[in-house]
């Protein structure tokens, strides 16, 4: 598929991937843009780049609903495991677009090229995760789009579209870090039910996500240092301003700390709620 992907620049490839409603093409573009960028076969941006869309391209299904209307099911049933994998596929698909958006939207920021290296590595791996989860759904006789999915994830991108530091606080350091908190118990439950194939997919996702949070923490600290801001305090201020709802314990303090996200960042926010 990579032969027919015209990529004007890193930003151009990222924007085309975000805009694509064909999910095979979206993930192929994300990975091919990353591959070409890593060997510097494309420039960072070009006058030929398309405009960044308000929302990413999506197929007609799944139907998007408020998070409260997405049904919870027991993992001890096939339907329940399919529902969980479907929800994870949806999260991973949004993560592809969020990683690409941070590259495309902030391509004119005065940051080193290694910033874009980090986020394209994230985009490449999120595309891999989406494909893995979708393939596992197919193994179980289902597909992405069969169930409704919630529409809250893109809100984080929209609310932080004008502030790179806020984007880093909310997307990798809240949303991705949440994956580190919840995935170990899901892995254990999948193993309990005997679904070792799904557990193995979650293992790959969990290990990669630690690296994604680390990319977020590294560049959040970089920007705070440049602005002479205390990272933990800046994180709390940005979260209060840009994120609805409290941070939910229990926290996987060890995995978070390995990624550079220490409890001084998030502990004081756990009990704070915003209507």
Spatial distance between the Cα atoms of 227 and 250, rounded to a whole number of angstroms: 31
Report how far residue 224's alpha carbon sits from residue 226's, in angstroms, rounded to the nearest whole number.
5
Let me know if domain 66-271 sits in CATH 1.20.1260: yes
User: What residues pair up with 64 in beta bridges, in sequence order?
Assistant: 149
> For 72-90, what is each residue's pLDDT tens digit?
778 999 999 999 999 999 9
- Answering whether pTM is above 0.85, one says yes
pLDDT in tens, 141-199: 999 999 999 887 788 788 899 999 999 999 999 999 999 999 999 999 999 999 999 99
């Amino acid at each position: 598929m990579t032969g027919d992907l015209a990529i004007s620049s890193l930003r151009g490839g990222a924007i085309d991937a975000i805009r694509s409603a064909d999910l095979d093409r979206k993930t192929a573009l994300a990975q091919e843009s990353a591959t070409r960028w890593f060997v510097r076969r494309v420039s960072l941006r070009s006058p030929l780049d398309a405009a960044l869309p308000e929302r990413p391209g999506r197929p007609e299904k799944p139907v998007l609903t408020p998070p409260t209307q997405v049904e919870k099911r027991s993992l001890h049933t096939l339907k329940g495991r399919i529902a969980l994998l479907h929800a994870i596929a949806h999260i991973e698909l949004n993560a592809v677009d969020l990683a690409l958006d941070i590259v495309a939207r902030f391509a004119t920021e005065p940051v080193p090229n290694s910033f874009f290296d980090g986020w394209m590595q994230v985009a490449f791996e999120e595309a891999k995760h989406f494909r893995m989860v979708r393939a596992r759904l197919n193994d179980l006789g289902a597909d992405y789009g069969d169930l409704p999915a919630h529409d809250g994830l893109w809100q984080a991108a929209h609310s932080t579209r004008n502030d790179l530091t806020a984007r880093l606080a909310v997307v990798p350091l809240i949303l991705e870090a949440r994956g580190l908190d919840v995935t170990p118990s899901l892995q254990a439950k999948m193993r309990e039910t005997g679904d070792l194939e799904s557990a193995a997919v979650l293992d790959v996702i969990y290990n990669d996500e630690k690296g994604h949070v680390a990319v977020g923490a590294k560049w959040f600290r970089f920007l705070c240092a440049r602005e002479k801001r205390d990272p933990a305090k800046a994180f709390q201020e940005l979260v209060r301003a840009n994120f609805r709802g409290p941070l939910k314990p229990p926290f996987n303090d060890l995995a978070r700390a390995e990624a550079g996200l220490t409890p001084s960042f998030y502990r004081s926010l756990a009990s704070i709620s915003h209507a």
